Amino acid sequence: MQSLPPTQTAQINGRALEYITSGSGSPTIVLINGAGGPLAGWHRVYADLEALSTVFAYNRPGIGGSDRPDIPQTGDVIVTALHELLAAAGMPPPYVLVGHSLGGLYANLFARRYVDTVAGIVFLEAAAPGDTVLNDQHQTFVQKTLNGIFGIFSRRDPNAEVEWVQETVKQIEAAGPFPDVPLTVISGGKRPPRLFMSEAAYRIRADNQRSLAGLSAQGEQVIAAKSGHFPQFAEPEVIVSAIRDMIARIRS
């Protein structure tokens, strides 16, 4: 595992949030984790990104060394806290947002809320607003069984972000338009086993990935052919290459 910079903390609304940053130059690359994902999950791409520009990664409330949430973690709460954390950490815009999985919803909302600060966006196997129907209508028997088993042994936090995904989607729909900035959607090319994702769900998610690329006139989709849901582990070079190309476009 590649080493990461030492963690730092900042107090945002009375709660400690843990982050790392290094590198130099503009735009600032902002890495936004998936649900429950720690900042260490970027270890296979971090050093290469650090060589390109300033890089920032953090743990949302309840992850790693960040304090547990004390209020519902809707998208509005999360992106407001991120905006304040970037300022507290001395990270000036413009930003290239890189949102993985659920982090894609937050990148989507941040870009609409803080249009003037965003220079580009990378959706990495990102959740699309329309993906919420997959959990409601297209769960396989295995998914439902596993969710039931894990539900028995887990103590759900009513403030946790996963409890507020539907509200986050509503906030995205009510926010301003998506900015016309460089946008790259990186989608894993390996199909999940049918036990874990039905054919109908797979088609819906594939359509939603393509729709994400259509949010900007400058959008494009890249297929990480050897990857499933975590291209940053399976094909880190694809992520680094996409961000490198985007930064070159922004700087030119």
Is 3 domain-assigned? no
The total of structural domains in the chain comes to 1
Q: Can you give the pLDDT at residue 158?
A: 92
**What is the rounded average pLDDT of the residues 208-234?**
97
Q: Can you give the pLDDT at residue 155?
A: 53
**Comparing C-alpha atoms, which of 100, 81, 91, 90 is closest to residue 31?**
100
Half-sphere exposure for 136 (CA within 13 Å, toward CB): 8
Other CB atoms within 10 Å distance of the CB of residue 200: 11
How is 78-105 classified by DSSP, letter by letter?
A: HHHHHHHHHHHTT-PSPEEEEEETTHHH
Read off the pLDDT of residues 26-54 as tens digits, 9 standing for 90 and up: 999 999 999 999 999 999 999 999 999 99
| Residue 145 CA, distance from chain mean position | 27
Q: What distance in Å separates the CA atoms of residue 213 and residue 146, rounded to the nearest whole number?
A: 32
Q: What is the mean pLDDT of the chain?
A: 91
Under the banding of pLDDT at 50, 70 and 90, the label for residue 226 is very high
Q: Can you give the pLDDT at residue 143?
A: 45
Q: What distance in Å separates the CA atoms of residue 226 and residue 223, rounded to the nearest whole number?
A: 9
Q: Can you give the pLDDT at residue 153?
A: 42
- CB-based contacts of 2-9 (< 8 A; 24+ apart in sequence): 2/43, 2/44, 2/46, 2/47, 4/39, 4/40, 4/42, 4/43, 4/46, 7/39, 7/64, 7/65, 8/89, 9/65, 9/66
Q: Can you give the pLDDT at residue 133?
A: 64
Does residue 148 have a pLDDT over 50?
no
State the residue range of the domain holding 153: 8-251
Q: Can you give the pLDDT at residue 149?
A: 39
**Comparing C-alpha atoms, which of 44, 63, 53 is closest to residue 21?**
53
Q: What distance in Å separates the CA atoms of residue 147 and residue 78, rounded to the nearest whole number?
A: 25
Question: In CATH, what number is assigned to the domain containing residue 150?
Answer: 3.40.50.1820
Q: What distance in Å separates the CA atoms of residue 2 and residue 13, rounded to the nearest whole number?
A: 32
Under the banding of pLDDT at 50, 70 and 90, the label for residue 193 is confident
Edge-first strand order for the sheet with 183-188 is: 8-12, 15-22, 55-59, 28-32, 95-100, 118-124, 183-188, 219-224
**What is the rounded average pLDDT of the residues 91-114?**
97
Q: Which residue carries 């220079």 as its tokens?
A: 119
Read off the pLDDT of residues 149-181 as tens digits, 9 standing for 90 and up: 334 444 578 999 989 999 999 999 999 999 999
Is 182 domain-assigned? yes
pTM: 0.92
**Comparing C-alpha atoms, which of 243, 228, 247 is closest to residue 125?**
228
